[in-house]
Structure 1
Amino acid sequence: MAQVTQRLPTQPSGEDSPAGASIASDRVRRRTVQVGGLEVPILESGSGPLVLCLHGFPDHAASWVGLLDRLARQGYWAVAPAQRGYWPGGAAPDGSYRASATGQDALDLIEALGREQADLIGHDLGARAAYAAASLDATRVRKLVGMAVPYGPQLRTAWLTNGDQQRRSWYMFFFQTAMAEPAVELDDFAFIDRLWREWSPGYELPDAERSALKETLRGAGVLAETLGYYRQLFSPPADAATQTLEARASGAITVPTLYLHGADDNCMSVELSDGMDAVFKNGFERIVVPDAGHFLHLEQPKTVADHILGFLNN
């Protein structure tokens, strides 16, 4: 494994500080880890049982910094990797941004870090990866936390039949077009600012964190790769082997699971998580977090961390 390459900028921290803030960074370190064919950048803090925090779009691993610190202070080894495609040179080696590929990445990272098992926390597309990992190999996942994107057939049904969710998911359909990449980049990624405003009404990402996120998306080749997640979302894989993997990655989950959703999420309707318990076979709890939108771990960091730690520690 590569050695620590850089520490995060030092700023004040505390349990009530935004989870994406740069905090007392002698506790949060950066390095890269060889995972499959990629040198994966990770942020990490603490020691003890392993917890992986998986980010979504439009986001990056740095939004987990506050939670990493909180987990570390509670005795966990908290690690937030960049998802495939989210750094220059990080394009998917097999070209896949499907759930089975990102779920396997999480399982491979557990092994690369020298552990047999980990807890998984996923937000947005990171939640999709966490669900897939638990479906692919439940023996490698002790507990599972999903946030902001539900699991089960109701989501795909909503894209076909639910006018409200179709409106919320307009960006997914726009990303299928050739206009998407230049439109997202225009005017210093004003498109990204718009998504954050719409998805988390009333919350404003601090300027430093906003700039850091845009630097991630500005990396060579990164935006085109991140759009690949959505460009593969609605089309079935052409080869039979990937079709089989995708079916395995979307099966019933036998890992104890906590699901958190912001009450004011304007990206994914909270109602889409109704009935999720039907596909979780070993314990499931859903909590709707008040006064939070899509980026609930940033909007209500202490509340979200309290729920997560209560679940992991039990």
Structure 2
Amino acid sequence: MTANGLEFGYLAAGPEDGPLALCLHGFPDSAHTWRHLLPELAAAGYRAVAPFMRGYAPTAVPADGAYQSGALAADANALHEAFGGGPDAVLVGHDWGAFAVYGAAAHAPGRWRKAVTLAVPPIAAMMGAFFDYEQLRRSFYIFLFQTPLAELAVNRAFVERLWADWSPGYDAAEDVDHVMACLSMPENLAAAIGYYRTMLDPSRLVARYAAEQAAGERTGERPVLYLHGADDGCLGVAAADPDAVLAQLPAGSRAEIVEGAGHFLQLERPDAVNARVLDWLKD
């Protein structure tokens, strides 16, 4: 599927004439992260689509090298158009996919009815906790990724350890297989790291996505369900206080901590997460 000038690979389930449910993954992950949610959305009548994010094979590497959250938001809105989505479409995003959801829904609220984000709250809600020593320790990889050593460091063992630290006790072997398939080529690995390099280097921002970038930093109009794992080893639960999160989300939003789950809560506790998502998406 071509959208925003890129050829996207994707997984899909459900009737083609159903409302679009676009599900966006993060790092180090793949569209397969939604393998438990897609069939549930399909059973509820949605056309559930999980694209591989820009730069993650089989999706193309963008020629303009744009990896800012505004570009991800633009991709989401372009995919809405490409899949023939209507105003009844919904968005679901985890990790970097959550950044895309905030920007896409705020920039083009007419395209989306409701949204769900997991594991990354609005930036304003987590800034205080982000500079806590323990959180800085968890976030070492962000700073590693600013260096030329990043491409050498990110091998299978590195990815396995991130998953083990971020979702303690979860068997991530299948998921790591999918990640390594997506990032097996040097250009794909550089793309995934590029998301983080752009995060801390404003010179990498591409001007054409300025509007979507700004939208992601403001409170939108469409209500959001925010879910965070109580045992998240990537972004500690202290950074996702429900009251602080709700203060940065549109009216009518909801924020919940999911017990017994870490960063990849949609995989660790699929029944609990799916139930919350499907209940939230009811009219």
Give TM class, smaller chain: over 0.9
Q: Distance in 2 between matches of 1:97 and 1:242?
A: 10
Question: Aligned-residue CA RMSD in angstroms?
Answer: 1.7
Q: Distance in 1 between matches of 2:232 and 2:196?
A: 19
CA apart distance, 1:243: 4.7
- Corresponding residue of 1:35: 3
Structure 1 stretch 99-108 or stretch 145-154: which is displaced more?
A: 145-154
CA apart distance, 1:280: 1.9
SS at match of 1:79: strand
Whether the 8 Å contact between 1:150 and 1:276 is mirrored in structure 2 is: yes
- Corresponding residue of 2:12: 44
Gapped regions of structure 2 (runs ≥ 5): none
Give the alignment partner of residue 67 of structure 1, picking from 26, 34, 37: 37
Q: 1:289 to 1:96 in 2, by over 3 A?
A: same
- Corresponding residue of 1:200: 167
Aligned pairs for 1:13-28 (under 5 A) are: none
Whether the 8 Å contact between 1:88 and 1:222 is mirrored in structure 2 is: no
Structure 1 stretch 218-227 or stretch 293-302: which is displaced more?
A: 218-227
Q: Which has the higher contact order (CA 8 A, sep 6+)?
A: 2
Give the alignment partner of residue 48 of structure 2, picking from 66, 73, 78: 78
Q: 1:197 to 1:239 in 2, by over 3 A?
A: closer
Q: Distance in 2 between matches of 1:172 and 1:223?
A: 14
- Corresponding residue of 1:138: 109
**Cα deviation 1:48-77 (Å, max 9, x = unaligned):** 111000000000001212210111112111
CA apart distance, 1:170: 0.8
- Corresponding residue of 1:309: 278
Q: Distance in 2 between matches of 1:71 and 1:240?
A: 35
Whether the 8 Å contact between 2:9 and 2:59 is mirrored in structure 1 is: no
- Corresponding residue of 2:76: 106
- Give the structure-1-normalised TM-score: 0.84
- Corresponding residue of 1:7: none
Higher share of residues assigned helix: 2
Please say if 1:226 is aligned against 2:192.
Answer: yes
Whether the 8 Å contact between 1:253 and 1:279 is mirrored in structure 2 is: no
Q: 1:168 to 1:140 in 2, by over 3 A?
A: same
Q: Distance in 1 between matches of 2:152 and 2:280?
A: 42
SS at match of 2:247: helix
**Cα deviation 1:231-275 (Å, max 9, x = unaligned):** 010122467665554222211121111000000001011221221
Give the % identical residues: 43
CA apart distance, 1:139: 1.2
Give the alignment partner of residue 127 of structure 1, picking from 82, 98, 101: 98
Gapped regions of structure 1 (runs ≥ 5): 1-32
**Cα deviation 1:69-100 (Å, max 9, x = unaligned):** 11111211100001001016711232211111
CA apart distance, 1:36: 2.2
**Cα deviation 1:205-236 (Å, max 9, x = unaligned):** 1x344323211121351101100000010122
Q: Distance in 2 between matches of 1:291 and 1:245?
A: 34
Structure 1 stretch 246-255 or stretch 103-112: which is displaced more?
A: 246-255
- Corresponding residue of 2:262: 293
How many residue pairs match? The answer is 277
Please say if 1:150 is aligned against 2:118.
Answer: no
Whether the 8 Å contact between 2:165 and 2:234 is mirrored in structure 1 is: yes
Give the alignment partner of residue 224 of structure 2, picking from 247, 251, 257: 257
Q: Distance in 2 between matches of 1:248 and 1:208?
A: 35
**Cα deviation 1:101-155 (Å, max 9, x = unaligned):** 1001000000001123320000011111111101111111110100001113243
Whether the 8 Å contact between 2:24 and 2:93 is mirrored in structure 1 is: yes
